Amino acid sequence: MRFQLSDDQRALKAGVRELLDGRFGRVALRAAVDAPGRLDRELWRALGDAGFFALRLPEADGGVGLGLPEAVLVFEEAGRALLPGPLVATHLAAGSVPGAATGETVVTAVDGELVEWLDAADVVSGDASDAVPLRSVDPLTPLHRIPAACAAAAPGRRRRETRPAARAGTGAAGPDGCLAGLLTAAEQLGTAVRVQELAVQHARTREQFGQPIGAFQAVKHLCADLLVRAETARVAVYAAAVTGDAADIAAARLLADEAAVRGARDCLQVHGGMGFTWEADVHLHLKRAWVRARRAGGSTESEELLAGRLVV
């Protein structure tokens, strides 16, 4: 099986990176951080025009007609750029919710006990009627908590029946958990790659005792570990996009979560005290990686799925 990207896939990846650099560069990122909870509708429509949400829809239905491997490449770039918004939910709803494919409609989904971007969404998949605001560690991902889900998760409590959706979008298909997990893994891969770049760049330019800190063995090891984790996750995510197998996706999710979270922590270590300042972007990557790690069942469901396959 060949996992090298084709020329068209490399061109797609480069095109998305160029688009995001132009529409959501560092100035736009910082503006979004300063206005938490506000979704840039113009940017959302620009993503729709570029085919971000309609990527996997058939051309006969107005889509781009590409597949899951191409969607993974696009979401990797979105993760690298820290692009905010309910990207996965809207992408997965493109074929069922009017306006989602073009970016005119913003779709979010109830995901366990959490809902991302509830106030900014036009359509909610699932019952969010009892949702209450939750202080999010990520300034670019507003969260709500579903009390019913909390009660269901508590030991000794019985799970409540799911009720009809309380907001617009009743009947809209919810995002498939498996695909949501894979696209989340792709975003985590983007973060893992980006924090590796930031760490290496800082290690090459920051000097201590008359030489770049990258010359010191401890820093070299941190940068090498960042690269190994990112490339291991990349192989797993790309392979899972080709096979579409649930176990492959679960394994890719675990590796990508680890690469993003541990990678961001190691990047902070390389940056030293500077990495903890508000002006540095490193903490934004770590906080987003933490929030994504809870999405679509998180590591627990992936571990349980893989354990189940092992004992069959």
Q: Encode pLDDT of 247-268 as tens digits.
A: 999 999 999 999 999 999 999 9
For residue 63, the number of C-alpha atoms closer than 13 Å in the C-beta half-sphere is 22
CB-count burial class (<10 Å; 0-12, 13-18, 19+) for 171? exposed
Helix axes 177-205, 217-243, angle to 10 degrees: 160
Region 284-293: mean pLDDT is: 96
Average of pLDDT values for 290-295? 94
To which H or E segment does residue 19 belong? helix 7-23
Flag whether pLDDT at 153 surpasses 90: no
| % of the chain with per-residue pLDDT over 70 | 89
Taken in order of first residue, the domains within the chain and their CATH numbers are 7-145 (1.10.540.10), 175-311 (1.20.140.10)
Residue 169 is predicted with a pLDDT of 34
Q: In the structure, what pLDDT confidence band is assigned to residue 297 with cuts at 50, 70 and 90?
A: confident
Whether residue 40 has pLDDT greater than 50: yes
pLDDT at 21 over 90: yes
Tens digits of per-residue pLDDT, 106-147? 999 999 899 999 999 999 999 898 899 999 999 999 999 998
Half-sphere exposure of 258 (CA within 13 A, CB side): 19
Predicted TM-score (pTM) of this structure: 0.89
Lowest mean pLDDT among 169-183, 225-239, 272-286: 169-183
For residue 31, pLDDT over 50 is answered with yes
Q: What is the rounded average pLDDT of the residues 70-90? A: 97
Are the C-beta atoms of 299 and 257 separated by less than 8 Å? yes
In this prediction, residue 175 carries a pLDDT of 45
The pLDDT confidence band at residue 204, using thresholds 50, 70 and 90, is: very high
Mean pLDDT across 87-114: 95
* The one-letter amino acid at 73: L
Mean pLDDT of the 200-206 span: 96
Helix, strand, coil share (%) of the chain residues, nearest 5: 60, 5, 35
Mean pLDDT of the chain: 89
pLDDT value of residue 1? 57
Task: Report pLDDT for 136.
Answer: 94
SS3 101: coil
Q: Which of 260, 246, 259, 245 is nearest to 302 (CA)?
A: 246
292 or 311, which is more confident: 292
Q: Residue 152: which pLDDT band, with cuts at 50, 70 and 90?
A: low
The pLDDT value given to residue 2: 64
Q: Is the pLDDT of residue 164 over 80?
A: no
Partnered with residue 169 across adjacent β-strands are: none
pLDDT bracket for residue 300 (50, 70, 90): confident
